[in-house]
Structure 1
């Protein structure tokens, strides 16, 4: 049907995509979709933003390339960062630099556990318990890929309990490299000698013991002798 003389002009497609990217960024930065959360489905975004499917698809793809969103097959699209630092960090922390990845993990995770012991809320403790239970269930089931993801969810819950938004954003930016380092450590198989008990770390956070929480968080990230 031809557009009537009173209808507003339709912006060019490129402009619509840029505007949609900006709207998605605004909602992420406003905390509507926090780091670690799943964004609405494509049909839901189409309805909420008032644009077509192709526009939404291109905008989401642009934010994936920027390292802000991550598409997980069969699960949905998740917010992994509130900025565009993630791809830069991911390029630096490649599989051939795993020693550096472990050192970065230690820097983040030890301090996060220490702060979490000081700042955790009842809601944080519930999230930690749920994440720990899911991690152990994945281990018992022998599902390596599921275990890697569950382990990351637990560590993200620790970081969230630290209540330091900048720490959470930086930690999210190295998520791909952390996932790679853990998958490499597992070697695709969940064998008994590779199991690390995180219940003591969670107990220390619950007890409000920052030094013990930091010690437990760092115990499994010690560099190999001679490294």
Structure 2
């Protein structure tokens, strides 16, 4: 692993220095290993790691190239990481989203075109038509927020928020909303965001987005608490409801 780490560090240094700019083809493995003073096996493993991280693109029969190094590529793994987080850390993800998304939405209010606002209006109509369909709501909710954030023109911010708002996280929230008969209220929050964006009101857009993220976070807490209670009942099937953890609440 030490040799692999050394090889990763040296290739990364070559990229950062501009010796290997985006799109550049790496020297053949034997030449690269000799150039760095490392074994071929160490270089080979380093290339595999950097390929997984979307830093390198291995084209069979052609060679290995540096990718575009665009944020959407390098941050692609964030969504997968969020999917794997345990319940007790998902609320931390929501906290980060609460820090970033309202500000980004406020910025979008200043930058959205009329065409983009029309696209958002159509997504909102689709959401209302699918108010009782969790799968469609997840799809349209993803499209709504991606459309808003992407209009900031900040690819790093867009990639970060796309990754933080994983499909699994959205699914938990929307299914909880539907079961709690609160989906229409949350769709109304999307409409409030849209109206603020349409009026080009940065502060109102930011506030509307903050209210919406807070609602999503509250429902996630509800869903996670319900899951924890179910897990406790499975672990202690004979215990009276509300007595498992020493509380009196049902």
Q: TM-score band, normalised by the shorter chain?
A: 0.5 to 0.7
Deviations 1:113-151 (A, max 9, x none): 100111111122122112212222221xx2211111110
Secondary structure at 1:184 match in 2? helix
Number of corresponding residues? 156
Distance 1:16 1:156 in 2: 31
Which one of 168, 187, 193 corresponds to residue 182 of structure 2? 193
Distance 1:21 1:188 in 2: 46
Distance 2:76 2:203 in 1: 30
Q: Is the 8 A contact 2:79 2:162 kept in 1?
A: no
Distance 1:150 1:109 in 2: 17
Matches within 5 A, 1:27-66: none
Please give the TM-score of this superposition, normalised by the length of structure 2.
0.53
Q: How much is the aligned-residue C-alpha RMSD, in angstroms?
A: 3.1
Which ranges in structure 1 are unaligned for 5 or more consecutive residues? 1-13, 30-80
- The Cα of 1:160 is off from its aligned counterpart by 1.5
Structure of greater Rg? 2
Of structures 1 and 2, the one scoring higher in RCO (CA 8 A, sep 6+) is 1
Matches within 5 A, 1:33-182: 82-88=72-78, 90-91=80-81, 94-96=85-87, 97-139=89-131, 142-176=132-166, 179-182=167-170
Q: Is the 8 A contact 1:82 1:169 kept in 2?
A: yes
Relative to structure 1, the CA distance from residue 186 to residue 217 in structure 2 (aligned partners, 3 Å threshold; closer, same or farther) is same
Which ranges in structure 2 are unaligned for 5 or more consecutive residues? 1-56, 222-250
Secondary structure at 1:82 match in 2? helix
